[in-house]
Structure formats: structure tokens, C-alpha cells
Amino acid sequence: MTRIAVVEGDGIGHEVIPVARDVLALLHPEYEFFPVDVGYSRWEATGCPCADQDIAALKSADAILFGAITTPPMKDYQSVVLRIRKSLDLYANLRPIRGDGFDIMIVRENTEGLYSGIEESSPDRATTLRVVSRKGTGRIARMAIRLAKERDGLLTIGHKANVIKSDVFFRDICRTEAEAAGIAWNDKFIDALSLDLLQHPGNYHVVVTTNMFGDILSDVAAYLVGGLGLVPSANIGDEYALFEPVHGSAPDIAGQNTANPIAAVRSAAMLLEYLGDDLGAARIEAAIRSLVTRGICTRDLCGSYGTREFGDALLTELAKTP
């Protein structure tokens, strides 16, 4: 039996993840879903945002559907997301940006860079160690190359090698891997890339970059498709996989039934692709497009539907198609 761990997380995660879970349950009633409670609200209640047994529970799943997590700016608070990514070695963060005339996959290194978690803080200085290793760079480059081959597209390497020596290291390893694989590639400074991707999205197919740069670039690219409420992501390792919307926990709108669940639902579609159900993923995308085209959408897309109401409409739409 396929087992799916469901982590609602914090804030609007409690609203959008149930919609995505219901979509998966409709398409695959044979799946077993089980909850795992981690995040800031768990920390407020128990003093522990994520315990060893929670990590073990996540590892027992065939895939993880994950909501947004709040990470407060407290030096003694360990990021739940970073802990999970490292514990499950989810080294590749895949963020698709698809629209009319473009289909971009941003491949973000997911376990090191400025999110290494190696930090120090004092009254006069705070430092974060940016880690770029040969192992980490090589494997994220090979993941991006594989995706570029599947898409028969160009690999773009995003970096800041004109300023940062660790980016020279990253760029050169990616170049070497691409040349060894015989794949077409180019490279761009990340600031210029961010602008050009918005101006000419059709020129890009697969973009590989470091952790922080990938986080920022994918958020910027969300502008092309209507905002963060529409963009999914996959966190992939050699043994485990976790799927989550790109947006944050948005505590300012939590509990108001206004959050857009499309990013969470599209993350569920990526989960289905990972499990081998490409048809189910395509059905989800077709149903979303059908609803939005007819004006059935949440307020961020100029609609009048709440989170729950859009979810109900999506389930009805999916039930119409075999």
C-alpha cells in the first residue's frame, strides 16, 4: 500500500494542504494518508518543533505532502524545513514555472549554500557559512542535466562568479558535468538572469543554481504565472521525496478561507508524477486550468471563491473526467 505522510504545518498550511490531500484521495482512494505534526505551532505547544520520531515517520512514507512552516527569527530555534531536508538528504529542489510559450524548471541545490545552518551570532557580528561542496554541486548538476535531456532543452547555470569564489567553484563543476554529458549549456550572473528570465522566459528550459539564489529566482519567476499561490515544488533525494507549495505560511491571512490552494494541489500533482501517475497529474492540471479559465478561482486571481469552495469545485471537476 502506498503511504503518504501529510504535514499541514503552520498558518495557511492548515487550509491548503487538506484540499491537496482530498484531491489525492479522490484519484487514489487506495492510498493511506497519515498526519505528521511539525512546525512552529507544535513548538509553541510542546517546546519541540520536530522530534526524532517525526523524522522516522516521514522516512516511513512513500512520499510526503508538506505544508508551509513558520520559522521565527529566534537564534535558538532550529528550522524544521532545514532539518527535514538534511535528515532525508533532499538535495534537489525542483520548481516548475509553466505558462504560455515557456516551460522552465528551476533546479535549486537544497542542502548547503547559505542554508547550511552553520551560523554564529554575537552582539557585534553574525556570520553564516556558505557551503558549496564538490559532492553537493556535482549531484545537483547531474539532476539538472538529466532534466534538460528529458526536455531536450538548454541548461543554464546561474551564479555570481564575478564576485564570489564559491560560485566560481559551483559554475566550473556544473560546466564540467554538462560538457561530459554532451548537453548544451550557458551560464549567467544571477542578477542579470533574474531580469532576463522575466523578459524572455521562452529562452529558458532548465536553470541550475545554488540554494539561496534558487530560492529567490523561483520566487521572482512566480510573477510570470500569477504569483506564489500558483507555484509548486518537489524536494527530491535518492531515497525520499517531499512536495510543498513555494509560498510561506502567510499568518496574516491564516484562518480566513482566502488562501489559494493551487500551489499545494500542483505539489500533489508532482507527487503523483514521482509515484508514476503522470495521467493523474495531467488530470489535476487540466482541472485547474478549466476552473481558472471559467473564473472559478480565489481572490488573488480576481475570483470570489474561498479556499474550501475552490477545493470543492476542483473535486467536482475532477470527478467529471475519467
Task: Identify which has the larger pLDDT, 282 or 116.
Answer: 282
CA-CA-CA-CA torsion for 37, 42, 46, 51, nearest 10 degrees? Answer: 50
**% of the chain with per-residue pLDDT over 90:** 88
Does the fold of domain 91-236 match that of domain 1-90+237-322? yes
pLDDT at 75 over 70: no
Give the tens place of pLDDT for each residue, 21-58: 999 999 999 999 999 999 888 888 888 899 999 999 99
- Find the range with the poorest average confidence among 64-78, 130-144, 177-191: 64-78
Q: Which CATH class is domain 91-236?
A: alpha beta
Task: Enumerate helices (H) and strands (E) in the chain, giving the number of each.
Answer: 11, 12
pLDDT at 115 over 90: no
Radius of gyration, CA atoms only, the chain: 19
CATH code of the region 1-90+237-322: 3.40.718.10
Banded model confidence at residue 278, pLDDT cuts 50, 70, 90: very high
Banded model confidence at residue 77, pLDDT cuts 50, 70, 90: confident
Q: What pTM was estimated for this model as a whole?
A: 0.94
Taking the domains of the chain in order of start, what are their residue ranges?
1-90+237-322, 91-236
Listed in sequence order, the residues at least 6 apart from 122 whose beta carbon sits closer than 8 Å to its beta carbon are none
- What three-state secondary structure class fits 21? helix
What value does the mean pLDDT of the chain take? Answer: 95
